[in-house]
A and B are shown apart, each in its own frame.
Chain A
Amino acid sequence: MHVLSKVDSMSNANATPSATAVGISGLRKSFGSNEVLKGIDLNVQSGEVIAIIGKSGSGKSTLLRCINGLEMFQQGKLTVQGLPLVYTDPAAMRQLRQQVGMIFQSFNLFPHLTVGKNIQLAPGLVKQLSPAETEATARRLLARVGLAEKFDAFPDQLSGGQQQRVAIARALAMSPGILLCDEITSALDPELVGEVLAVVESLAQEGMTLLMVTHEMNFARKVSDRVIFMHQGRVHEEGAPDELFANPKTPELQQFLSSLH
């Protein structure tokens, strides 16, 4: 897939195809004395689909969580659609987070709200849309993830795969330009993985900028434009999926890939 051929029509009308969606330079992050990100440089073009792979503890989830400010980093710069991330400025954070949707391994739906209300909550509060508007959006997005009839259900009445699809719809309701997926199929039973990946794939095809941490190598290979291999807090190797999976250059990536089989 060529980056320029993708035009994001639905969710991010004002981004031009070649604009930088996420810019990261010299990013360092420590938990106490343990440095987990040791200088990350990464530029993500708008519409690009990036898969981040690597062993657990390599810092891939932490990197993803830095992008929407769930983790604070100590050094370096991070911009989202040209805007720098500033923790100390709540208004700027609110602005930035509207542009960045996040989907979690454990779904994190709000259990006290119905599926519909889960999706309507943030657009109503943050974008101050009317209930009629947010309901229309919620119903449209639910239909899109194949759960139109679950509008009034509570999260605990749904399967894991259905909950994760609701979580995707909830993130999309804010019309983000970028979607972060943090191992979104890792908590699912194997037979439910496909339905979630199908939704992500359709988003990728529509030109959504996607950064996903994943263990689904076949999926990464099929859907992504670029694969990032992280090792010990650094981007160790990166490249087009076919190239990277077929001809891993570093011994660490070779070892990682062979450990999967």
Chain B
Amino acid sequence: MVEFSLWDIVSNLLLAARWTLVLSLIAFLGGGLVGLVLLVARTTHSRSLQQGVALYVQVFQGTPLLMQLFLAYFGMAMLGVETSAWTAAAVALTLYSSAFLTEIWHGCVKSIGKGQWEAAQSLALNFGEQLRYVIFPQAARIAVPPTVGFLVQVVKGTALASVIGFVELTKAGTMITNATFKPFLVYSCVAVLYFLICYPISLYARSLEGRLHVQR
């Protein structure tokens, strides 16, 4: 029987952790873009747009991410779109992130006083200009800490992509366990790696919170 050293385990996990990072980044950036579009739609005065976005958010917040991944993986195949685990995971996590980010940001926009909107309107700025030059810059300042904090949730959420066969940190852990029969050791290493990714992000979020708070 082949003996596996600790380094064998860790080095293989590190290779797989790259995909956790890449998937997190795609989900976060994609989710940010979609979330921004949804945010603008929700901020307009159109009732139907507002309700549409609210429903979208409810659907993604009210169902488990695991189900969303299954539905993306099997659903897209049913629609005739050839899906790899990669695409399905990226799509599902992007949509999931967009729902949460748009909700976080919507709260930040809401917290900007009515007077700011009215001042911008009175100066004849159109809706796009009001958002871009007056509301979003102020909302962004409040939004940065919770947004960075949410990135931690996304990183941990990518672990679920293992169930549709996407090889990231957790899936690699399972595969290595099957070869080494050392589940406790392997999953401990997996947990430590997740922690090493997430903890600096949390620290960064907290320092941002402090810094942005001091500014205003």
Q: Which A residues fall within an 8 A CB radius of B?
A: 68-70, 90, 93-94, 97-98, 100-102, 104, 106, 108-112, 121-122, 125-126, 156, 167, 170-171, 174
Q: Roughly how many angstroms separate A70 CA and B116 CA in the complex, as a whole number? A: 12
CB < 8 Å: which of B115, B119, B124, B216 contacts A94? Answer: B124
Contact, CB under 8 Å: A104 / B119: yes
Q: For A70, give the chain B residue with the smallest CB separation.
A: B118
CA distance A111 to B140 in the complex (A): 13
Knowing A122-B125, A126-B125, A156-B216 are in contact, say whether A104-B118 is a contact too (CB < 8 A): yes
CA distance A143 to B122 in the complex (A): 23
The interface stretch among B16-24, B26-34, B57-65, B129-137 is: B129-137
State how many residues of chain B have any CB contact under 8 Å with chain A.
Answer: 20
Q: Is the CB of A102 within 8 A of B133?
A: no
Interface of chain B residues 121 through 175 with chain A (CB within 8 A):
121-127, 129, 133-134, 137-138, 141
A97 touches B122 (CB 8 A): yes
Contact status A126-B122, CB under 8 Å: no
Q: Residues of A contacting B116 with CB < 8 Å?
A: 108, 110
| Cβ-defined partner of A108 (8 Å) among B118, B127, B216 | B118
Residues B119 and A110 in contact, CB atoms below 8 Å apart: yes
Cα-based distance from A109 to B113 in the complex (angstroms)? 11
Inter-chain pairs besides A90-B126, A167-B119, 20 sampled, C-beta below 8 Å: A68-B121, A70-B118, A70-B121, A94-B124, A97-B123, A97-B124, A98-B124, A101-B122, A102-B119, A106-B115, A108-B113, A108-B115, A108-B118, A121-B123, A121-B125, A121-B134, A122-B123, A126-B129, A171-B123, A174-B123
Whose C-beta in chain B lies nearest to the C-beta of A93? B124
Identify the closest chain B residue to A167 (Cβ): B119
Q: Flag if B115 contacts A126 (CB, 8 Å).
A: no
Structural contact, A68 and B122, CB atoms closer than 8 A: yes
Q: Which residues of A contact B126 (CB under 8 A)?
A: 90, 94
Contact B115 A104 (CB under 8 A): yes
Which residues on the A side are within 8 Å of B115 (C-beta)? Answer: 104, 106, 108
By a CB distance below 8 angstroms, the chain A residues around B134 are 110, 121
